[in-house]
Amino acid sequence: MNELGNKIKLWRNYRNLTLEQLNALTGIHYARLSKFERGVEIPNQQMLERIEIALDVKFDDLVLIDQEIENLIIEFIDSIFYLKANFDHFEDVINKNREIYMINQNYYKVVLIEYISDILTNRLDHTDKMEKILDSAVEQNTLYEQLYLEYRALKMHTLKNYSDAFNYIERALCISNNIKNTAMINYHLSLLHHDCGHYEKARKYLIQAKQMFVEFSSYKRAVHCDFQMANIYTRMGCYSMALELQKASLETFQYMQSSESVIALTLRNTAWVHILMKNYNEALICLDKAELLEPKNCNLILYKIWCNYKLENYSNAHKIIDENNQLYDVSDYKDRFKLFVLLLD
């Protein structure tokens, strides 16, 4: 099926017409219309105009929609690479133009934007339905297949299905022929190896990703690589190197006016390294700063209880427990919270 034939079929279906009904409107035999749709034959200008009148569409105008969708997904890819995180903008554009996008042969690219957005914002409820569309529409060995495989891997990573995650992301890496895209794949591969305890591999992919980010002036991404490298060094027991990178990341995050949640997370991670080094006072200093940004973070609460317990500030530890009884109901944290309560009884 060629592009014109695909457009004729899409618009005929959109208008809820059978080939026989289009035959009646245009005077062109339905068998010939079928040939047009399948790309077996190309309609002449007179026939094309009759089809356009019947379908109330100008096929030349649809080329502009093709380009609009192409520009939108390229803009979206760049926004991820440069960590702009403006998902609302793309959602607004898509919702505003969804009707016209849905009857375009490149609509799968719009679905791909929504799919990636939902995965990056941890909204996985509708991603299975999107995958059915993308499985049948994305062309093989293209930029769009690479993106689809990469973010399907990220979804599997989120679900802790590490085997499938590695399968998808390694396939994405095999077909990637663009440095920017390869940088993102290396970054996600590093996160995956990190969570699987493969710290040297995680470090290798992260170094490669950072070099590529710097090459294309994605400095926010480069700093996030330092942030992740600090986590790797923490896991490897290289605490001094981890602290050095965390300090540098904090300074850069503040200079770049990064989100409060990112700064708070870095402060909590720094506190955790201090805890591992038994520097409990230094840990509390970091936690107090993080608390100003995200006061009810569960890890922060547990870290503060532990530091006060180790410093024998039992009254402070009891006070923190009394103020945060909601942790009894948080499944991922309630067991550790109960343990701390028992320690202080």
Q: What is the pLDDT of residues 42-82, one digit of tens each?
A: 888 888 889 888 888 777 766 788 889 999 999 999 999 99
Query: Does position 134 have pLDDT exceeding 80, yes or no?
Result: yes
* pLDDT the model gives residue 49: 83
Range name among 104-108, 185-189, 230-234, 289-293 with the lowest pLDDT average: 104-108
Record: fold of 3-57? 434 Repressor (Amino-terminal Domain) (1.10.260)
Mean pLDDT value across the chain = 92
pLDDT score, position 12: 85
Confidence of residue 189 (pLDDT cuts 50, 70, 90): very high
**pLDDT class for 284, splitting at 50, 70, 90?**
very high
Note the pLDDT tens digit of each residue in 324-335.
Answer: 999 999 999 999
Please tell me which residue, 241 or 67, carries the higher pLDDT value. Answer: 241
Three-state secondary structure of the chain:
CCHHHHHHHHHHHHCCCCHHHHHHHHCCCHHHHHHHHHCCCCCCHHHHHHHHHHHCCCHHHHHHHHHHHHHHHHHHHHHHHCCCCCHHHHHHHHHHHHHHHHCCCCHHHHHHHHHHHHHHCCCCCCHHHHHHHHHHHCCCCCHHHHHHHHHHHHHHHHCCCHHHHHHHHHHHHHHCCCHHHHHHHHHHHHHHHHHCCCHHHHHHHHHHHHHHHHHCCCHHHHHHHHHHHHHHHHHCCCHHHHHHHHHHHHHHHHHCCCCHHHHHHHHHHHHHHHHHCCCHHHHHHHHHHHHHHCCCCHHHHHHHHHHHHHCCCHHHHHHHHHCCHHHHHCCCCHHHHHHHHHHHC
pLDDT of residue 15: 81
pLDDT at 271: 98
In this predicted structure, what is the pLDDT of residue 326? 93
Check whether 165 has a pLDDT greater than 90: yes
Query: Which pLDDT score is estimated for 150?
Result: 98
Per-residue model confidence (pLDDT) at position 259: 85
pLDDT top residue among 306 and 2: 306
Check whether 1 has a pLDDT greater than 70.
no
Of 51-65, 144-158, 305-319, minimum mean pLDDT range: 51-65
Average pLDDT over residues 72-100: 92
Instruction: State the pLDDT confidence band at 106, using cuts at 50, 70 and 90.
Output: confident
